Structure formats: C-alpha cells, structure tokens
Structure 1
C-alpha cells in the first residue's frame, strides 16, 4: 500500500512546482466541477501595467504632434491698391496728364490681374507663392531664381508698409543665398490676415505693426 501511494505521488504535480513553472497558479483551488482557478502573479501584473502605460504614452505623443501641426493659411485677396491706382490714372487722364496716367493705369491693371490669381500660401513650414484657383506652383523666381517657397526658419526680418493701409510687404531670407536675399511684394492680400500669420509663423517684425 505504501509503495502504491508513493508511485501515485510521483505522477501528481505539486502546487509549488506548478507555481514555479507557470507563474500563474500561485493559489490553486478546486471547484466543485474540478475547474482550476488561476491568480496572476504580481510580477506579471506589474509588467502588463508598464506595457499599457507605454502604449498610452506613445499614442498621446502622436496625438500631441498632430494637434500641434499648423494649418495652412491663405490670406484673402484685397483689391484696394489696384482700384486706387486706376482711380489715380483716371483722374490724371481727366486733367489731360496722359504721360503719368499711362504707366499708373498699366500698373493698376497689372496688380488687378495679379490680385485675381496670385496667392500667398502659409503652410506649417514655409511661405509659398502659388497661382490660380487650384493653387498651382508659380515656377522659379524671375529675379533671383529658385522656387518661390521660403522656410520661416530662414527669415531674418520682415516688414509691412504701411500697416494702416499696407502697400508693400518685405522680408529677408537666407535660403536663397547665405548672405540674405530681400523680397518685395505688393500687398494685394488682406493686410491684417497677412500680418497676423507672419507674426505667428515668422516671429514679430522689428518695426511694423498694425494700429
């Protein structure tokens, strides 16, 4: 009888062995139906919590970067400058001053045409000049060469003349050439929108500010 009991005991898994092998059966209990109840070990629970916390941190980081992404801003067109120029040209022609009236009128017509098609596009990284309703690329700059796209990080300074009735926008950047390249554009866009987005993306201007 003792020999038989010893033989049976060899084939029965001990509670300690199961606990060490699986790490899951720390407290074994038999139910009425013979099902085993398993309590997870503290070590495995802690590892699971660390893994879940890491996943949450990664997701939060990705969502944070997406939330910080700046939207594209396109200032509205402003026809005041070409209208003023055409009005001045008309007044000069009315007083028989045709010599100055012609160039002023031509400039007004050119700016009127450009106002309908040229757009300043401020994306998350750079200012780009585009044309048309489909915002097509404007090609190379006819004066200094290169693409009409400049990163905000290369802006040295910019100005808006004059803030109450903006006529010109100026900025200097080091992307085109290391010593700096100056650009002038007529303000054929909403001056307030243009100023606000320039301050946000390129930093405050040194001297100009709308009143």
Structure 2
C-alpha cells in the first residue's frame, strides 16, 4: 500500500499543489500508524527510523529472570525402625531378651523420630526441623550450634549403603574450621535424599540408591 502511494506521487503534475498536498497529508497519516504500541507522527523519515530503532532496542532487550530454588523435604521412610522392631521380636521369640531389649528400644526411638524429624533443603542450607509445621529443632545436643549447615561448607558426604541406605554422613566446616562430622540414620526416602544432596552439596563417592 505504501509503495503504491509513493508511486502515485511521481505522476502528479507539479502545478497541482493542492492534490499533492492531500497525498502528502495521506502519506503523513500512513507513517503515523501505531508501531510497537507507540504512536509516532513525524515528517522526517530519518526521525521515524530512529524511533523504530529505539523501540527495537527497548523491546528487544532480554531480561534475565531470577532462578527460584525450591525447598525440598524428603519423604519419611519407616523401613529401618520396622526392621529393628522385627529383629527385636525375633530375638525375644528365641528368649534372647538381653539383645532384644536394646534393639527394640532403638527401633521404637527411630520410629518416633521418623514421624517428627525432617531434613529441609532450602536454597542455601540443610536444616533439621521437627513436626508437621517444620519447627526449628534447637541446638545440636552433641556439638552445639544450630542444626543448619550451608552447602558451601560441606567438605564431603556419603550415604551408606546405597541399595538400602542406613546412615548418611557429612563433614562441614561451619561448626568448627577443622571440620565437624555428622551421622544421621536414614529415616527418609533414600533416593530422594541422595538426589537432593548431589544437587545441592555436589557429587558423592557413593552410587545412588536403587
């Protein structure tokens, strides 16, 4: 449409200034169309080009979005306490009460802890919390300090044993500069625990649980 209008102006007699003015007015209206949601009315083609370039620069710029790191809480896993309670029952059935008592107590303790203790992996640290509301667990009874450790302070970690994870071990330098070792029974989903540890704390020497 624009090319047709421009071609038509070449055949208009120079003396017909009134008709030429109408055509130029129509051309001006055409160039004043809405571009990029902005209305530009200009008599100068160079000005229009600069305006279009400004719009391209404004709307063509890529804006980086902040990466959202979700908080992950592995599901509880009751296999270890169930196995311990079953073993205690078997020992009691064979009248081996001396061994059945501590194994049974440990099974009951882990069963209780499985219902309330959670590993919470947020964007910067692993924290041990308790209860459905994920309340703070207070200070560590063995080494002191809050039960929260930044991933950046992890020196090493392992999951024993991958096929039937029983213990998770990690060493961090947040509690003390020379490093502090922690052991926790795996009362959580072992596969979920392994995957999130690899993602947040880096790879381990152990293979993933099946």
The answer to whether residue 57 in structure 2 is matched with residue 50 in structure 1 is yes
- Using the size of structure 2 for normalisation, the TM-score is 0.74
| CA deviation map 1:93-127 (0-9, x unaligned) | 11111111111111110000000000111112111
CA distance in 2, matches of 1:174, 1:192: 26
CA distance in 2, matches of 1:200, 1:38: 56
Q: Secondary structure at the match of 2:92?
A: helix
Q: Secondary structure at the match of 1:170?
A: strand
* Aligned counterparts, 1:75-114, within 5 A: 75-114=74-113
Instruction: Quote the residue 2:152 is aligned against.
Output: 153
Matched residues, number: 173
Using the TM superposition, name which of 185-194 and 41-50 deviates more.
41-50
Q: Secondary structure at the match of 1:165?
A: coil
Alpha-carbon offset, residue 209 of structure 1: 3.3
Instruction: Quote the residue 2:132 is aligned against.
Output: 133
Instruction: Quote the residue 2:115 is aligned against.
Output: 116
Q: Secondary structure at the match of 1:156?
A: strand
Using the TM superposition, name which of 86-95 and 37-46 deviates more.
37-46
Q: Which runs of 5+ in 1 are unaligned?
A: 1-28
Alpha-carbon offset, residue 31 of structure 1: 5.0
Alpha-carbon offset, residue 43 of structure 1: 4.3
- Using the size of structure 1 for normalisation, the TM-score is 0.74
Structure 1 counterpart of 2:42, from 38, 43, 46: 38
Q: Secondary structure at the match of 2:169?
A: strand
Alpha-carbon offset, residue 81 of structure 1: 0.5
Instruction: Quote the residue 1:71 is aligned against.
Output: 70
| CA deviation map 1:14-57 (0-9, x unaligned) | xxxxxxxxxxxxxxx9859xx9x63362445544543444xx43
| CA deviation map 1:168-195 (0-9, x unaligned) | 0001111111111110000000111111
Q: Which runs of 5+ in 2 are unaligned?
A: 1-22, 30-40
